[in-house]
Amino acid sequence: MSTETMLILVGILVGVVSVAIFYVYYLVSTRIETISNVAEEEGYPDRTVFIRDSLYGKPRPLSWSILFYDDAKSIGLRYIFTGLLFMFIGGAFGVLMRISLTDPNPTIISPTIYNILLTQHATIMIYMFAIGMAMGFAYYILPSRLRLKRDNMGHLSSVAYWMWVLGGTLFVLSKSSMRWYMYPPLSLQLTPFGAGAYNWLAVIAMELIFMGMVMASVIVLKIIFIDRADDIPLSQMPVYGWAVVFTLVMLVSSAPPLMVGLGMLFYDFFNPIFFVTSTSTPLAFAILFWFWGHPIVYIAVIPFFGLMYDIITRFTETKVYSYFSAVLSLGLLLILSELVWGHHLLNSGLGVDWVIFFTTASFIVVIPSALTIFNMIATLWTAKKIRLTTPMLFVINAIFDFIIGGIMGVMLADDPINQAVHGTYFVTGHFHFIFVGLTLGVSMAAFYLLFPTFSNGRVYDERLAKWHFYITAVGSFLMSFSWAVGGFLGMPRAVAGYFAYFQPYQDSAILGGVIIGIGQLVFLYNIAKSWSTEPATDPYNILEYRTETNQVMGGGK
Amino acid sequence: MNKRQTEYLYAAVVLIVLTAAAIVNLGYVVGHTSNIPQPENNSAVPANSSVIQVLGYQWAWQFTYSNNTTTTDVLYVTAGHEYTLQVQSRDVIHDLLIPSLGVQVYAVPDHPNQVSFEPEKAGKYIFECVEYCGEDHYLMRGYMVVSP
Amino acid sequence: MALRNGGTTFTLIVVIVIAMAFGYILTSGGSSLYPTSTQYSAMKYSANINMWADANGWELKQGPAATSYDIKATNLINPILYYKADTLIYFNITEADGAPHDFTICYDGSNTSTLFSTITSGPSSIYSNPTKWENTGASYTIISVSQLTQNIGHTASSKYPFEKPGIYTYWCTVHPTEMYGLIIINGASSSS
């Protein structure tokens, strides 16, 4: 392409984009003006307060206005749909990685691209999908569940959301290949063979994601503790509320060490003093990282435990078997999971005392997880009837997958086994059982439940939803199970090529991965198709409570 | 059996199983300290074991034996003899894993680690790097040849 | 302002964003040869290559060139260049015939005996079909057409840090079937 044609094309592109931006600006500004006039007539000095108050207590369907309105439900919708969008990007990267592994030598994509996909898949799935869904459901469900007295920190939530999105986008744009562990000195190698030429951007992006997450967490904690309706004491808060509290307390308390660590890592690009061998040790960063890195995997699970309790009790029409034990075990998870992070570094030569403490703590942390699962099973066991709708199927599959993944976790806590399988696909299988089965499954369950609310009364296609469930469940089991078996034989993870000896395990995992991908396409097709039908149901449902109308007086105090 | 009793029962079962597992693990760790990666400078090399210096770099493993010969990506050992690996890294963090023997040790720059193992059966086993270390991480692998 | 069909809109957004993300990540091979400042400072050796850019082939001397790759020829064209890893190579390219030329490299793979024999002999070798080994998608132009100015006798210089061992193809994007050759970077003496 010659320079002239390129200039003409760029000119046309800039023109079209400017016109589009101006049109959106025009729409938004006229809309703002109309709302301001109405607000003034209603006696509100502030337009945004009027919007929040008029949206209060109503189900909120998906619309473009969620990007501009700052009420809790709009923020929740933003998080949920951004999380889903990133789930599809990360999932597509994952499927591409699987496909590239059909050959033991990297012929389909180069190792450089494989490593970029590896890094992006992990980071997107954890920070954008799991956190996005956790935050989104908290923002969306809690206002009606806890019948908020006021909803007045929307601006800050919005800032937190945009920082988080910007962080996620910049992380993808950075083409970083440092893996989500970010261990220096690799992350300081700014070459395509190391961590990627633009890895400094990835570090900034991570810091942005962290700031967004911590801000949003503090606001949600404030919503739960301060803005809750007066007639809902903490002792009667739904288990989901408690789950969110524990998650966010964990997030807020364990993120700061890594935020500081990321700042030091960024400084090391210019003046390497913090994590280099001459003045320190690279293991210092690994310790800072895992102090956060272990809690984050619980953060991706605990809110979904809360949702599982909710969904189970509604579809069995009983109460939680033991509310006290449910809340207690989630609380114990908060405390204990902060004490087990060292088990990620068992083989890095930090001494025998380190191994003894962290393996023992890792056995103890299983106790509250097991109590949670037993509690759910007991709830199901004592129920008079169980309605096997799609969300319920997802939840039952989540329990099943969590048990397998949990048992693999107990095995990993055992030092002799850990020495043989740490860093192999066994670990990948362990957390994919939990992340695909539980995090993805329960998000989908909650999404299906909230679908009538999102779509203003449409009903999803039950048959397609069932297909989505069965395909995802079978694919995830096949993939994670093949990894578990292959990993036990020593198949290393995070590699672009492998010994041909491991071909059968890789091939069955590839099959599983592709099947999961197909399942999510069914989901996309389902929502696109169902949304074009006529509204046929009430947007209120078991996750979206019917609340009384506005409790807030004018002026929005 | 009422609700509370069921709850105590399953809590007790979970507690007993996990405590037993933790004690078994503790017993192993305390009894096999030389098989657990430790910093080289504060642990003695076990008697009767040959030291092999291992150097990990992007993207190969180099083994230096006690008679000063060196091999790359191949490790030669004899069955029934105890070996001590002293593992270092030249650039980034690597992690040497010999899956069939359950030997795993990190190669951290400026933090030499040491681990002992004793191959029992002759044969050819794989080893690999299991800590992501850059572009050709997947090629940082090789064979351990155990001669009888 | 409720969306008439949020599901379809969302699906469209998902498809577009995935396509963009794939396009962005999968083309990242192009930047993988792009040298960074840290690479320059990490080089241990340096070397000079003086070549004449002639549409009939890269020449080591000015003047009538051999017509094919022949190691005994007085004026070797399209030579295979051997260097150690971590070598900073200064390329001094002189315009020989006034036609537009540039100097571009790509990375073909690590220097294994299989790849070496495939690339240097047989029907799929670079001498039979050079464009097969000229990966324009993942290439890096060290000296551009405008730097070489098309004035006969003008010399343009640039440098490139060869950090990674392996086989590199070099060629002129204007004359890809005539002006091509190999740079072979051998790894550090890792085996002894």
Do residue B71 and residue C191 have CB atoms under 8 angstroms apart? Answer: yes
Residue A63 · residue A74 · CB < 8 Å: no
Residue A348 and residue A278 share a domain: no
Find the mean pLDDT for residues A54-80.
85
Sole residue written with tokens 């001397």: C61
Do residue A190 and residue C28 have CB atoms under 8 angstroms apart? Answer: no
Q: What integer pLDDT is reported at residue B7 of this predicted model?
A: 84
Is the pLDDT at A448 greater than 70? The verdict is yes
Residue A534 and residue A489 share a domain: yes
Residue of B nearest to A192 (CA): B135
A58 CA to centre of own chain: 26
Using one digit for the tens of pLDDT, what is the confidence trace for A372-418? 999 999 999 988 888 899 999 999 999 999 999 999 999 999 998 99
Q: Evaluate whether residue A51 is within a structural domain.
A: no
Q: What integer pLDDT is reported at residue C1 of this predicted model?
A: 41
Contacts of A172 in chain C (CB under 8 A): 21, 24-25
Query: What is the tally of structural domains in chain A?
Result: 2
Q: What integer pLDDT is reported at residue A441 of this predicted model?
A: 95
Q: Which of B72, B136, B139 sits opposite C190 (nearest CB)?
A: B72
Do residue B70 and residue C192 have CB atoms under 8 angstroms apart? Answer: yes
Is the pLDDT at A13 greater than 90? The verdict is yes
What is each CA distance from A407 to A322, A410, A412, A430, in whole angstroms? 23, 5, 9, 9
The structure tokens listed for A344 are 């990620």
Residue A181 and residue A75 share a domain: yes
Q: Evaluate whether residue A55 is within a structural domain.
A: no
Contact residues, B window 89-108, toward C, CB-based 8 Å cutoff: none
Answer with the one of A280, A300, A320 that is the final residue of a domain: A300
Determine the structural domain holding residue C56 and report its residue range. 41-186
**B139 CB within 8 Å of a chain A CB:** yes
Which of A408, A450, A415 has its CA nearest to residue A140? A450
Answer with the one of A300, A334, A352 that is the final residue of a domain: A300
Residue C98 · residue C152 · CB < 8 Å: yes
**B60 CB within 8 Å of a chain C CB:** yes
Q: Evaluate whether residue C72 is within a structural domain.
A: yes
Q: How confident is the model at residue A554 (pLDDT cuts 50, 70, 90)?
A: very low
Q: Evaluate whether residue C15 is within a structural domain.
A: no
B79: number of Cβ within 10 Å: 13
Q: Evaluate whether residue C34 is within a structural domain.
A: no
Find the mean pLDDT for residues A91-120.
89
Q: Evaluate whether residue A3 is within a structural domain.
A: no
Do residue A96 and residue C2 have CB atoms under 8 angstroms apart? Answer: no
The residues of chain C scoring below 50 in pLDDT are 1-2, 30-31, 189-192
Distance CA B75, CA B65 (A): 9
Is the pLDDT at A16 greater than 90? The verdict is yes
Q: Evaluate whether residue A126 is within a structural domain.
A: yes
Do residue B72 and residue C110 have CB atoms under 8 angstroms apart? Answer: no
Sole residue written with tokens 């577009």: C16
Residue burial A498-524, b: 16+ Cβ < 10 Å; e: rest: bbeebeebbebbbebbbbbbebbebbb
**C38 CB within 8 Å of a chain B CB:** no
The residue ranking higher by pLDDT, B81 or A542, is B81
Three state DSSP letters for C114-172:
HHHHHHHCCCCCCCCCHHHHCCHHHEEEEECHHHHCCCCCCEEEEEEEECCCEEEEEEC
Three state DSSP letters for A24-58:
HHHHHHHHHHHHHHHHHHHCCCCHHHHHHHHHCCC
Find the mean pLDDT for residues A317-324.
86
- B49 backbone dihedrals φ, ψ, rounded to 5°: -115, 140
Q: What integer pLDDT is reported at residue A169 of this predicted model?
A: 94
Using one digit for the tens of pLDDT, what is the confidence trace for B16-45? 988 998 999 999 888 888 888 888 877 778
Give strand pairing partners of A260: none
Residue partners of A355: CB distance under 8 A and separation at least 6: A346, A415, B29, B36
> ipTM of the predicted structure?
0.93
The residue ranking higher by pLDDT, C179 or A129, is A129
Q: What is the dihedral of CA A428, A431, A433, A436, to 10 degrees?
A: -100
Contact residues, A window 193-222, toward B, CB-based 8 Å cutoff: 193-195
Tell me the percentage of chain B whose pLDDT exceeds 70: 99
Using one digit for the tens of pLDDT, what is the confidence trace for A346-361? 888 888 889 999 999 9
Q: How confident is the model at residue A553 (pLDDT cuts 50, 70, 90)?
A: very low
**B72 CB within 8 Å of a chain C CB:** yes
Using one digit for the tens of pLDDT, what is the confidence trace for A174-204? 989 888 989 988 888 887 778 887 899 999 9
CA torsion sign for A101, A104, A107, A113 is positive
Which of C169, C185, C186, C75 has its CA nearest to residue C126? C169
Q: Evaluate whether residue A60 is within a structural domain.
A: no
Q: What integer pLDDT is reported at residue A555 of this predicted model?
A: 41
Is the pLDDT at A339 greater than 60? The verdict is yes
Q: Evaluate whether residue C174 is within a structural domain.
A: yes
Q: Evaluate whether residue A59 is within a structural domain.
A: no
Q: Evaluate whether residue A277 is within a structural domain.
A: yes
Q: Evaluate whether residue C6 is within a structural domain.
A: no
A554 CA to centre of own chain: 36
Q: What integer pLDDT is reported at residue A344 of this predicted model?
A: 92
Q: What integer pLDDT is reported at residue C189 of this predicted model?
A: 41
Q: What integer pLDDT is reported at residue A77 of this predicted model?
A: 93
Distance CA B103, CA B89 (A): 17
The structure tokens listed for A132 are 């996005």
Sole residue written with tokens 């070489």: C148
Distance CA A475, CA A465 (A): 15
Distance CA C186, CA C47 (A): 14
Q: What integer pLDDT is reported at residue A542 of this predicted model?
A: 72
Contact residues, C window 62-101, toward A, CB-based 8 Å cutoff: none
Query: What is the tally of structural domains in chain C?
Result: 1
Residue partners of A270: CB distance under 8 A and separation at least 6: none
- How far does A208 lie from chain B, in Å, by closest CA? 25
Answer with the one of A243, A274, A300 that is the final residue of a domain: A300
The residues of chain B scoring below 70 in pLDDT are 1
Q: Evaluate whether residue A10 is within a structural domain.
A: no
Q: What Rg, from alpha-carbon coordinates, does chain A have?
A: 24
Determine the structural domain holding residue A363 and report its residue range. 308-542
Tell me the percentage of chain A whose pLDDT exceeds 90: 57
Residue A530 and residue A418 share a domain: yes
- How far does C107 lie from chain B, in Å, by closest CA? 13
Is the pLDDT at A102 greater than 50? The verdict is yes
Q: What integer pLDDT is reported at residue C109 of this predicted model?
A: 80
Which of A431, A332, A405 has its CA nearest to residue A126? A431
Considering chain A, what is the average pLDDT of its residues?
89
Q: Evaluate whether residue C24 is within a structural domain.
A: no
Q: Evaluate whether residue C12 is within a structural domain.
A: no
| 3 state DSSP class of A538 | coil
Distance CA A443, CA A307 (A): 9
Q: What integer pLDDT is reported at residue A196 of this predicted model?
A: 82
Distance CA A518, CA B124 (A): 40
Do residue C36 and residue A197 have CB atoms under 8 angstroms apart? Answer: yes
- Among A93-102, A164-173, A311-320, A434-443, which stretch is predicted with the lowest mean pLDDT? A311-320
Distance CA A358, CA B94 (A): 22
**Residue C107: CATH number of its domain:** 2.60.40.420
Give the amino acid at A455. Answer: S
Distance CA C6, CA A532 (A): 9
Distance CA A481, CA A484 (A): 5
The residue ranking higher by pLDDT, A58 or A237, is A237
Is the pLDDT at A80 greater than 90? The verdict is yes
